[in-house]
Amino acid sequence: MKAFPLVFFGIALTAFSWGLYGNVLHTGQHELHGRLKPFICVGLAYFIIAMVVPLLVLAAQGKIRGDWTFKGIFWSSMAGAVGAFGALGVILALASGGHPIYVMPLVFGGAPVVNTLVSTYTSRNWRHISPTFIAGLAIVVAGAATVLVFQPRTGGAAMAGPELRQLPLVFAGIAMAMLCWGMYGIFTHWGQHDLGGGRLKPLICVGFAYFLIAIVVPVLLLGAQGDLSSDWNVKGVAWSSAAGAAGAFGALGTILALSSGGKPIYVMPLIFGGAPVVNTLTAVSMKNTWDQLSPWFLAGLILVAIGAVMVLVFQPRAAKPHTSAKHGHGKSTEPRETTQAERT
C-alpha cells in the first residue's frame, strides 16, 4: 500500500491524542467542578480546530463549494455526534468519581469490539473473519483488562469511598463512551467516502456536530439553570480545551488514516489498542508512580500491542465489493479511488 505511511501516521496521531484525552480532561473537569462546563470547552476546541480552520483552508483553496453531498454530510455529522456523546460519557464517568487510569482502558478496550461487530455486520463479511483475527481482538481486550486490574495505585485503592457509591454512573458513562466511540470510525469512513474521499470536509461536519451538541445545548441548559457565568477559571478552561484539542487532532488522524486507504475494521482497533497505553503512561507520569508499575501491568501493555498487530495482519479480506440495496448505507464501505485534488 503506497499510502501506508499516511495510514500509520494517522493511526499514531489518533492513538497518541486520544491517549492524552482522558487525563487532560480529568484535570479540567476537576478545576471546573462539573460536567457541562468542561464539555463546552471540549466543543469549543473542536469547533475551532475541526470547523473554523478547515473552512478557512478550503476557502483559501477555492474548494469550499464542491463535492458536498447529503449522505456525506449526514454520516460525517453522525460521526461528530457519536464522538460528542462519547466525550460526554467520559465526562460523566470522571465526574462521578472515575479515574482515567481505568476509565479510559475500559472504553478503549470495548470500543473496538463494538466497531468490529458493526463494521462486519454492515459489510456482511462474517465468513471472512479468521480465528486469528478474533484472537487478535481478544488479546487487545485482554491486554486492556490486564492494564485495568494491575494499574498503578495512586494513593491507595483505585476504587474506594465515593467511587463505590457512584459506580453505576461511572460504568454508565464508560458504556456510553464505548458504544459511541465504537461507531465513530464507521460513520467517519462512510462520510469521507460520500464526500469524495477528502479529509477536510468530513472534519468540518464533525466540528459542526460538536458545535451543536457540546456548545449550543450545554449553554442553553446552563442558561436555563442560571449557572452559565459562574465557576469558570483559566486553569479549568485551559485543560478542558486542551482535551478538546487532543480529541480534534485525533479525529483528524482518523480521517487521514481512512482517506489514505485504511479500513475501519483495523484502523479503529489499532487506535483503541494504542490509546490506553498512552493514557496509562500519561497517568503514571502525571502522578509520578513509576515505582508502582508491576510486571503484570507491563505484560498487559505488551498484550495490547501484540493484539493490535494481529488485527492489522489478519484483517478480514473479502472479494471485490458490490452495491447492495439492502445495505444500511446503500453502498459498499470501500472508498473509491480519489484524485490528488480531492484529497484536501
255, 248, 247: which is closest to 198 by C-alpha?
A: 255
Q: Which three cell numbers stand for residue 279?
A: 493514557
Across 110-119, 150-159, 242-251, 313-322, which has the greatest mean pLDDT? 242-251
Residue-level pLDDT at 89 = 94
Q: Going by C-beta distance under 8 Å and a sequence separation of 6 or more, which residues neighbour residue 93?
A: 103, 169, 170, 171, 172, 173, 174, 177
Mean pLDDT, the chain, as a whole number? Answer: 81
Q: Going by C-beta distance under 8 Å and a sequence separation of 6 or more, which residues neighbour residue 161?
A: none
Q: Answer with the residue of higher pLDDT: 86 or 67.
A: 86
Residue-level pLDDT at 318 = 58
Distance CA 64, CA 132 (A): 44
Residue-level pLDDT at 243 = 94
Distance CA 323, CA 57 (A): 34
pLDDT tens sequence across 92-144: 998 888 888 778 888 887 787 787 778 777 777 777 778 888 888 888 778 87
Q: Is the pLDDT of residue 335 over 50?
A: no
Q: Answer with the residue of higher pLDDT: 249 or 285.
A: 249
Most distant CA pair in the chain: distance in Å?
Answer: 58
Q: How confident is the model at residue 177 (pLDDT cuts 50, 70, 90)?
A: very high
Q: Is the pLDDT of residue 325 over 60?
A: no
Residue-level pLDDT at 288 = 76
DSSP 43: H
Q: Answer with the residue of higher pLDDT: 143 or 208.
A: 208
Degrees, nearest 5: CA angle 44-17-25: 55
DSSP 335: P
87, 98, 86: which is closest to 167 by C-alpha?
A: 98
Tell me the chain's radius of gyration from C-alpha atoms.
20
Q: Is the pLDDT of residue 34 over 50?
A: yes
306, 293, 302: which is closest to 101 by C-alpha?
A: 293
> Residue 46 in contact with residue 296, Cβ under 8 Å?
no
**Least confident interval from 31-40, 189-198, 224-233, 322-331:** 322-331
Residue-level pLDDT at 301 = 76
Q: Answer with the residue of higher pLDDT: 120 or 244.
A: 244
pLDDT tens sequence across 300-311: 878 877 877 777
Q: Is the pLDDT of residue 244 over 90?
A: yes
Helices and strands, number each (H, E), in the chain: 13, 0
Degrees, nearest 5: CA angle 125-128-133: 110
| Single-letter code of the amino acid located at 221 | L
Q: How confident is the model at residue 326 (pLDDT cuts 50, 70, 90)?
A: very low
Q: How confident is the model at residue 230 (pLDDT cuts 50, 70, 90)?
A: confident
Distance CA 208, CA 163 (A): 34
Which DSSP string corresponds to 128-172? G--HHHHHHHHHHHHHHHHHHHTPPPSSS-SS-THHHHTHHHHHH
pLDDT tens sequence across 154-173: 554 444 434 556 778 888 99
> Residue 218 in contact with residue 40, Cβ under 8 Å?
yes
- Residue spans of the domains in the chain: they are 4-61+69-96+111-133+156-262
Q: Answer with the residue of higher pLDDT: 19 or 197.
A: 19
Q: Which three cell numbers stand for residue 195?
A: 464526500
Q: Going by C-beta distance under 8 Å and a sequence separation of 6 or more, which residues neighbour residue 212?
A: none
Residue-level pLDDT at 273 = 77
Q: What's the rounded mean pLDDT across residues 245-262?
A: 87
124, 108, 154: which is closest to 329 by C-alpha?
A: 124
Q: What's the rounded mean pLDDT across residues 72-85?
A: 94
